[in-house]
Amino acid sequence: MKTTGYVPNSEWEIVENEAERNIILYECCPNPYGDLTFNLTLKRKVSFQLRLMLLPTLLLSTISLFMFWIPAHRPDRTALGAYLSRSAFSPVDENRLIDRLCKIFVSIRAS
């Protein structure tokens, strides 16, 4: 099968593609019947799932644990808790979310 018009996808990769033409003669009918069978094997790219799902989840979990080590009287703890709850439930661009979480993680480690 030709893949000249295929547009590359950031999540999936075509591993194998086959096309097979079958012609079947039935006893009841004098004409042959043809069909085409297409087999397409796809592979999910790990980097997409890692970048979109696992990395933000790990960063949010780690920052949530670090939040309990910040003394209760500091305003950083309240701001961090508000940001975490807002970022967990609002749709955000994945690159901006990872950048923000990394900056928060670094600032917590520095203080």
DSSP 15-74: EEEEEEEEEE--SS-SS-EEEEEEEEEEEE-HHHHIIIIIHHHHHHHHHHHHHTTS-TTS
Question: So where are the chain's domains?
Answer: 12-44, 47-110
What mean pLDDT comes out for the span 68-76? 75
Q: What is the pLDDT of residue 90?
A: 61
Tell me which residue of 51, 60, 50 sits closest to 88, measured CA to CA.
60
Q: Is the pTM of this model over 0.85?
A: no
Instruction: Give tens-digit pLDDT for 15-66.
Output: 999 999 999 898 888 899 999 999 999 998 877 677 777 777 787 787 778 7
Q: What is the pLDDT of residue 3?
A: 78
